[in-house]
Amino acid sequence: MSFRPRKALALALIACGPVGVLANDLTTTVTNNYGMPGSLVDMPTAEMAPDGQISTTASHFDGNTKTMLSFQILPWISGSFRYSATDNLTPQFSTFYDRSFDLRFRLWKEGTYRPAVALGFQDFIGTGILGAEYIVASKSIGDRVAVTGGLGWGRLGSFNSFGSTGNRKMFQPGDTGGDFRTGSWFRGDVAAFAGLSFDLTERLTFAAEYSSDGYDEEVAVGIFEHKSPLNFGLNYQINPNISLGAFALHGSEVGAKLTLTLNPKNAPAPGGLEEAPLPVSARTRGTTADLNWLMEPETRAAVNRSVTKTLGSSDLVVEGLSLDGRTAHVRLRNDRYDARAQALGRSLRGLSRTLPTSVETLHVTLVAAGMPSSTLSFSRSDLERLENEPAEKALAVAQFSDPLSFANLPTPTADAYPQFSWGIGPYLRTSFFDPDNPVRADVGIKFSGDYHVMPGLIASGEVSVKAFGNLDKINRTSNSTIPHVRSDVASYLATEEPTINRLTLAKYSRLGHNLYGRATAGYLEQMYAGISGEVLWKPVNSSFALGAEANYVRPRDFDVLFGLRSRTTAGGVIPEFNGHVSAYYDVGYGFHTQLDAGRYLAGDWGATLSVDREFANGWKVGAFVTRTDVSSEDFGEGSFDKGLRLSIPLSWMLGRPAQKTLDTTIRPLTRDGGQRLDVDGRLYETIRDTHRPDVAKSWGKFWR
């Protein structure tokens, strides 16, 4: 095969050549009509968003609407999820809804004379209707101009192609979609595209491009005419987080787009709004040898009261204290600080102000679900010496260990248990991607409570009542050919009466060094009741953990109250037993991985791989994919389970410490294959925040 690049590409590549300007990062907060970072209209560039940026883009022109969620996974990797609606694209639907994913990899950054180059995959998991692959080069010229040129396959090779790299398998009616189409990557016709963007002002950008997308599917059914390969656009940056764009496409259409951005690294209140901590109280020289207080029982009692009161002023609960002449060991419950390093720092400051001067070694054991989960050991002299030094110096001398290694581990005091906590507030329950109505939602009030009967024994529940919404209007009968373990979810959302979302009794235990156990019984989640048991091996200083879980469950009645229903469904009988073995690994660089393998709710066997980008302030953005022995045909539309998930710490929004998070999962489809029980309080997430790898991430707040 021989390539003969067209004039447009040649001009762009010449422009990308040696120019006597300083290179910049080619970083932009603007997105194109496909939701990916880029200052052009439809065509890709080699630009990237600021690391960690999350963007939501909505674009529309006559007959076509796209809604996109994008994330800058790493400085050189961008990803996007897209939900598009096209009118009259197929005879089966008046509006064809399609879900797709994109990835772009920057191969190298631009230099003084070298353009940035990126490799991209568009709609690489989906129907492939928007599918394309490309290699693209972009170069900045001065502070205002950037030029781009590239080669595209798939949709981006459909206009004025100049060669072919083999046959490309296209999506056909009846295909389940949602699978990797690796056999089609960089196959088929190849064409050139090019573009230029120019910053007219600090806020207004103009873009012009030569498009290699022939819009073959849309033109074939008469949605619009493709009169020209030239597209033009204007983008106005209203503020750092909102931009508005207008564009003209293929000589026959005009449209608009709106982009909202935020970056987890940039908190609304960057400095935090919590009250300042107590200062460290330094001992005077010559007082550290005074042990006379040991002979005075009333002094020891006064110390206990002082420690409890002082740490309580920082919303830290002292469950127990053991004390001798040189060592103090505090058993601590932290229900406030999501940054455990901040809780530890404040507890040590409080101890420095309340303990006798002879006490040199400080141990603080954090409790999670009533279990002693990790112990920080710190020299009081180091605390006094390092108070005004960078936090990393304190981390270097801090020691973490398993609490079970201490013979003098404090036992809970008589008044530490029982304890009760509760909360009440609004809830938002959503459903996406229903062809009859792509976005549905219920809003209501939720009440939750936890009663800690004794250390590790917790009775908990959650009740909600709907105020208004339209989830009950979902009117889709599942056509699943395997047991209906999730696809009948609409029946659980139809009730207008109060529902018992969860009502359980859980026992958490330390089974030995590095070993944890959990047993939970009751109404485990909205759709299932039963018994769940789990064990976890997790060393305090390790980034690696192993766990195993076994469950015996029955499906709940659709009214989500106390009744159970038959395990027999239209797709088969729901098995009673399921479970998994799990491996967890904190890779570093902000990434965490989890692999679960075992039997899922429908009786299928397989594995789930999850990868999350975790920020020091508690934000988590991740993706998961599940493959089981259910075939693509039996699974149905989508081929296999996959999705995105997002966790936003309440503390990030409020600027004050809080342990609550707002969590959401975006699944392109809710099917029955690869579905796992949603039991609350799994061990790894319960204890990991108290172990050194996670505490170290938030260590910047140790002195806060």
Mean pLDDT of 15-22: 35
Q: Is 358 helix (H, G, I), strand (E, B) or coil?
A: coil
| Residue 19 pLDDT level (bands cut at 50, 70, 90) | very low
Taking the CB of residue 415, how many other CB atoms lie within 10 A of it? Answer: 9
pLDDT in tens, 163-191: 888 887 665 545 555 566 777 788 899 99
> Under a CB-based contact definition with an 8 Å cutoff, are residues 605 and 580 in contact?
no
> Under a CB-based contact definition with an 8 Å cutoff, are residues 136 and 593 in contact?
no
Q: Is 240 helix (H, G, I), strand (E, B) or coil?
A: coil
Helix axes 340-354, 297-312, angle to 10 degrees: 150
CATH domain 7-262 topology: Porin (2.40.160)
Over 70: is that where the pLDDT of 22 sits? no
Over 60: is that where the pLDDT of 307 sits? yes
Output the pLDDT for position 493: 84
* pTM for this entry: 0.90
pLDDT in tens, 348-360: 999 999 999 999 9
CA distance 686 to 47: 39
pLDDT in tens, 534-563: 999 999 999 999 999 999 999 999 999 999
Over 70: is that where the pLDDT of 15 sits? no
CA distance 565 to 563: 7
Domains 7-262 and 292-416+695-701 share a fold: no
Over 90: is that where the pLDDT of 341 sits? yes
| Residue 297 pLDDT level (bands cut at 50, 70, 90) | confident
Q: How many CA atoms lie within 13 A of 384 on its CB side?
A: 16
565: Cα separation from own chain's centroid: 34
CATH domain 292-416+695-701 topology: GMP Synthetase; Chain A, domain 3 (3.30.300)
Domain parsing of the chain, residue ranges: 7-262, 292-416+695-701
Mean pLDDT of 481-490: 90
